[in-house]
Amino acid sequence: ATTEIYLFPYTTLSDLAHQCSAQYGQGPARLLLELRLAEARRLIRAGAGIAEAAAATGFASPAHFTRRYRAWSGRTPSSDVQD
């Protein structure tokens, strides 16, 4: 069975994806990933460790988080925070 979350009544997941793309220029999964990475950056800059920020923003491991962060920002989390 598929679990579906509807944020708006009478809106399908497909409609939601199209609305998200039109509004933000990217699909909901990509938007959520970018929000998680931005929150992790904020946490690290506020003094959290990389592993702590990764766990707090839902990444499975610090290594996975670092790969995603580097793809997103072009820098590793530790080098980004040093500036």
pLDDT tens digit string along 16-75? 888 888 888 888 889 899 999 999 999 999 999 999 999 999 999 999 999 999 999 999
DSSP letter assigned to residue 62: H
Backbone angles phi, psi at 81, to 5 degrees: -75, -25
The structure tokens 């920020």 sit at 53
pLDDT tens digit string along 4-27? 555 566 677 888 888 888 888 888
